[in-house]
Structures are given as structure tokens and as C-alpha cells.
């Protein structure tokens, strides 16, 4: 039980500040203002599922995939940080009340699947920063090598908890706006967009520092 709790807290505590479901919900709403309430609910389900798959895939096989293509974790941090910083900059400078032009919703299942994965899951929710952190966790104890089943279960429960929070926050993002008001919601969205920009720069800085240290 101790190992289960330790594993859960390690993964959940590492991912929650980066994923930030409440903050991401405002950016999700900014990207999906043109969508109906039903479409937004379906997108919330898909983003939560994609996020769950990305976290677990990165945790268990992410390092092997990077090794296969010869990509180092510092390089992933730099590239991922650039993507996150650009996304934050675009949201920070977006006109108030407008949906992002990258999100095209015509009501078809294929359009919903496409929008749910990019850009709503990647890079806004569980993007390169999340992947880099999760891969780093996967290469450390208690997950490295043949990890005990309790550690794996704890990580699985943490990923499930993060995904559930993503769903709840995204599913009721429009109601949060109704409680807070459009002006305050837009102000919070821009605040979290600024934080997203700063997170991207911090990830880039960490990757560059690792590269310099490795020279």
C-alpha cells in the first residue's frame, strides 16, 4: 500500500502542475467557442481519453521510442517547450471571444476526433512538456526495469485521476464561464496563457541547460 501511494503521488504531483486541468479548461473554452454544448461535451471525453493514453504511453514506452529515433530527452524538452511557448503566445494575443482558427468543427465525427487530438490534447493539455516529464518518470525508480505491480497500479490510478479532472473541467468549462462572467473568464484565460508561455520557456531553458551540461 505504501508503494502504491508513493507511486500515485509521484506521478500525480509531477503532472498536475503541468497539465493544470482548471487552467487548461479556460483555454479549451477559448478554442471551442464555435462548438455547441454537445460537441464540447464530446470533445471533453475525447481529450480525457487521449490524455490518458499519452501519459501511459509516455510512461511505459516513451523512452524506447525516443531511443529508436535517436532523440534525447533534452532535445524533446527544447522542441516541446517551443511548441508550448508558441501556443501560449497565440492565446495571449488572440482577440477576445474568438475561437482559434486551427479548430475546425463541422459536426462530423472525424472533425471532432481531429480537433480533440490537435490542438486540444496536443499541445494544450498533455503536450510535449507532459510527455518529457512522464518519460523522465518512466526511466526512474520505481518504474525503471521490471517495476512491481503496485507501482504500475499507482501510476495507472494517477493517470486516471488526471484524465478524470481533465474531463470534469473541460465538460463544465462553459458553466464556469457562466459563473465567472465573460470578462473575468477572458482575463483568466490570458493569465493561464501567460503561464503556458512561461512554462514553455522554462522547459526550453531546462533542455538547453541539460545539453550544455552534457557537452
Phi/psi of residue 46, nearest 5 degrees: -65, -40
The structure's pTM equals 0.79
Length, in residues, of the chain = 215
Q: How does pLDDT run along the chain (215 residues), one tens digit per residue?
A: 777 888 898 889 888 888 889 888 988 988 888 788 888 999 999 999 999 999 999 988 888 888 888 888 788 878 878 877 887 788 788 766 544 445 656 667 777 778 899 889 988 899 877 888 888 777 765 565 545 578 788 889 999 999 999 999 999 998 888 888 878 878 887 888 888 788 788 878 888 998 898 87
**Segment 29-53, tens digit of pLDDT:** 888 887 888 889 999 999 999 999 9
Query: Whole-angstrom Cα distance, residue 59 to residue 51?
Result: 12
The grid cell for 131 is 510527455
Cell 551540461 belongs to which residue?
A: 213
Amino acid at each position: 500500500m505504501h508503494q502504491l501511494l508513493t507511486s500515485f503521488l509521484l506521478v500525480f504531483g509531477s503532472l498536475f502542475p503541468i497539465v493544470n486541468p482548471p487552467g487548461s479548461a479556460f483555454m479549451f473554452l477559448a478554442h471551442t467557442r464555435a462548438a455547441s454544448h454537445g460537441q464540447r461535451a464530446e470533445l471533453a471525453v475525447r481529450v480525457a481519453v487521449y490524455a490518458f493514453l499519452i501519459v501511459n504511453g509516455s510512461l511505459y514506452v516513451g523512452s524506447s521510442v525516443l531511443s529508436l529515433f535517436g532523440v534525447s530527452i533534452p532535445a524533446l524538452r527544447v522542441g516541446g517547450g517551443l511548441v508550448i511557448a508558441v501556443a501560449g503566445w497565440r492565446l495571449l494575443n488572440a482577440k477576445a471571444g474568438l475561437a482559434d482558427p486551427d479548430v475546425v468543427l463541422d459536426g462530423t465525427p472525424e472533425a471532432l476526433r481531429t480537433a480533440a487530438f490537435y490542438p486540444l490534447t496536443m499541445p494544450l493539455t498533455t503536450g510535449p512538456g507532459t510527455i518529457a516529464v512522464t518519460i523522465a518518470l518512466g526511466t526512474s525508480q520505481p518504474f525503471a526495469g521490471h517495476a512491481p505491480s503496485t507501482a504500475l497500479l499507482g501510476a495507472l490510478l494517477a493517470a486516471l485521476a488526471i484524465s478524470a479532472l481533465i474531463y470534469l473541467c473541460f465538460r463544465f468549462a462553459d458553466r464556469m464561464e457562466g459563473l465567472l462572467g465573460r470578462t473575468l473568464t477572458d482575463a483568466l484565460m490570458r493569465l493561464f496563457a501567460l503561464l503556458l508561455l512561461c512554462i514553455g520557456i522554462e522547459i526550453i531553458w531546462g533542455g538547453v541547460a541539460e545539453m550544455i551540461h552534457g557537452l
